[in-house]
Structure formats: structure tokens, C-alpha cells
Amino acid sequence: MKQGYFITGTDTNVGKTWATLALMTYFKQKEFFVIGMKPVASGCEKINGEWRNADALAIQQHNSKTVDYSLINPYAYELPISPHLAGVENPVDLEKIVANFEILQNVADVVIVEGAGGWYAPLNNSETIADLARKLNLPIILVVAIKLGCINHAQLTLEAIKNAGLNCAGWLAVCNDTDFDCVDLTIESLEKRLLAPFLGVLPYSDIADYAYLAQHINL
């Protein structure tokens, strides 16, 4: 049975890539054939004459099968700014992303697609991450960085996902703020307020040990 998930977050830099890689590892541990995508990425560097994104490269390395980079990340932009600004000369075409997704879906049991920024991050002059999620029509996993303000951000994002008519498969807490002292109580507050399954807590780690992080997921 083919499966897929769309990973979104409460903001940029909330741990979506770590969550994506942990989820990929989770499914691989269960002997699923897994492929990940990061269709749109800003802040790339040129490697062998081509723009490459560090997060997309990490996803490529964790795939169950070697897949061409252009399928995983068709829109790689140099500047670390919003895609609608970084991609003025090569704007995002959602149909191209959908076509790439369908290619990958044909060769995998599970395809995990990581979004860019937050739910309403603009991809071009008229479309956002929310529009891409609608096109792919996958269950959504919401990544919540546990920090000051996250309760508000998480509730607003979940409301927007449901207003889009999409299914939220659940939310993941990511502990990436070492200066925040109210982690447990904040997660408890989120559990009470977010009407979606709680999939686990990815604890803070200096080293990206995705096998360890995968143990904290209950999907």
C-alpha cells in the first residue's frame, strides 16, 4: 500500500528536516521502501556547477534507493530568502513538483515531502506551501518547535490545515531551543489544545542521530 506524508512546520528553522529524516528512518526500520523530497529549497551552494541544498542532500542520502537530485529538489535557490523572492527568474511550478512526486511514488512504499518555511510561505507570486499541500493531497504532519510562542503558532497552523480541507495525521514536538526552560509544561499544554494525534517528542541532540530520534516517534 502506497503511503505519503507532507511535513510542514510552525515556522522556518523549527526542525522539519530532522523530523523528515527521523520519519524516513522510522519507516525504513519497519522495512518500508522510503523516499524523501524537499521540492523547494532556498540557501543553496554551487557544487560541481549545480545548486544544491544541504537538507535536500541529507534527504537524498537517506533514501532507500539512489534517486536523481533533480527529482528530490527541482527548485534549488541560491539566496536564503523566501522562495517567491529567491526564485524570480525560475518560479516554482506546482505541476512539476506533482509530476516528480508521482515518479517517486511509483518506486517507493512511502514518500515523505518536506515543505519550505511555514504553512503560508509563498512559493511564487500567487501560491503558497498550503497550495502545494492541496495539490499533493497527502496527510499532514505538523512540526512544532518547543519554544516561547509555539502554542499560538501551532494552533493557528493546525486551524489553517483543517480549513484547507486536509487531514492532519498528527504533530511532532521538536526540542531545539536549549534556553527554553518550560518544555514539559508547554508540550502538555499543546496536547490539551491541538485536536490532532500527538506523534512524539524529538529530544534535543547535538548530533543528528536519526535512528535514536526515530525511537521517539509513534505514528
3-state helix, strand, coil in the chain (%, to 5): 35, 25, 40
- Per-residue cell: 202: 524529538
Q: Which of 16, 38, 65, 96 is an active site residue? A: 38
Say which amino acid occupies 30: K
- Considering only the C-alpha atoms of the chain, give the largest distance between any 2 of them, rounded to a whole number of Å: 49
Q: How far apart are CA 55 and CA 212, in angstroms?
A: 19
CA angle 170, 173, 174 (to 5 degrees): 135
13: left (phi over 0), alpha (psi -120 to 50) or beta: left
30 catalytically annotated = no
Residues labelled catalytic:
38
